[in-house]
Amino acid sequence: MPQITEDNAVQTVITTFEVTPGTCQDLLDALQEAYAQFISKQPGFVAAGLHVNDAQTRVANYSQWQRREDFMAMLRSAEMRERNRGLNALCRSFEPVMYDVVKTFG
Residues 10-27 have a mean pLDDT of 97
Report which residue type is found at 56. Answer: Q
d(CA 50, CA 61): 5
Residue 8 has pLDDT above 90, yes or no: no
Its pTM surpasses 0.85: yes
DSSP class of 40: G
**What is the phi/psi pair of residue 99, to 5°?**
-130, 155
Report which residue type is found at 1. Answer: M
Residue 101 burial (CB count, 10 A): 15
Residues 36-54 pLDDT 10s: 999 999 999 999 999 999 9
